[in-house]
């Protein structure tokens, strides 16, 4: 998905070169803002454990993750990132982090909980802001 997003971005990069930093910022702000928002929302199913590794929830999360990866690839096109290096790096890191996350998640979920999602959202917002400011202050 990052490669598809990058390809789509490369086709329109000339058209939006004057405001590409705003597009990258907006996409990261949307994803990061949504993560931050979700971290403060109350749980929908109080006391009921949900298995995210089965059924419709797994498909929904897979689609959402793919859309996020597509948006990242689109951002990479605007920032002239080498997709041949970035895509396998994303895949390898995502694999390692996913396995590690599943193993540590059960142990730390009561301690960290929704704070991890909030931290991730803040990091994405900060990256988007850095991109925006680096282009504005040039």
- What is the per-residue pLDDT across 33-84, written as a single tens digit (0 to 9) for each? 888 888 887 765 545 555 656 777 677 667 766 766 777 788 788 788 899 9
C-alpha atoms less than 13 angstroms from C-alpha of 113 in its C-beta half-sphere: 9
Q: Which DSSP string corresponds to 60-124?
A: HHHHHHHHHHHHHHHHHHHTT--HHHHHHHHHHHHHHHHHHHHHHHHHHHHHHTTHHHHHHHHHH
pTM: 0.56
| Range of weakest confidence among 60-69, 84-93, 114-123 | 60-69
| pLDDT for res 88 | 93
- What DSSP element (H or E) covers 27? helix 20-40
Tokens 């990479």 sit at which residue? 76
How far apart CA 31 and CA 17 sit, in angstroms, is 22
């Amino acid at each position: 998905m990052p490669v598809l997003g990058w390809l789509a971005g490369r086709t329109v990069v000339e058209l939006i070169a004057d405001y590409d930093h705003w597009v990258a910022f907006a996409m990261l702000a949307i994803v990061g803002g949504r993560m931050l928002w979700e971290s403060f929302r109350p749980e929908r199913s109080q006391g009921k454990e949900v298995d995210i590794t089965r059924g419709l929830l797994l498909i929904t999360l897979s689609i959402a993750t793919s859309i996020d990866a597509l948006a990242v690839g689109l951002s990479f096109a605007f920032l002239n990132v080498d997709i041949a290096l970035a895509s396998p790096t994303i895949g390898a890191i995502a694999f390692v982090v996913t396995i590690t996350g599943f193993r540590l998640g059960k142990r730390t979920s009561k301690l960290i909980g929704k704070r991890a999602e909030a931290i991730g959202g803040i990091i994405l917002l900060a990256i988007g802001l850095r991109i925006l400011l680096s282009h504005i202050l040039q």
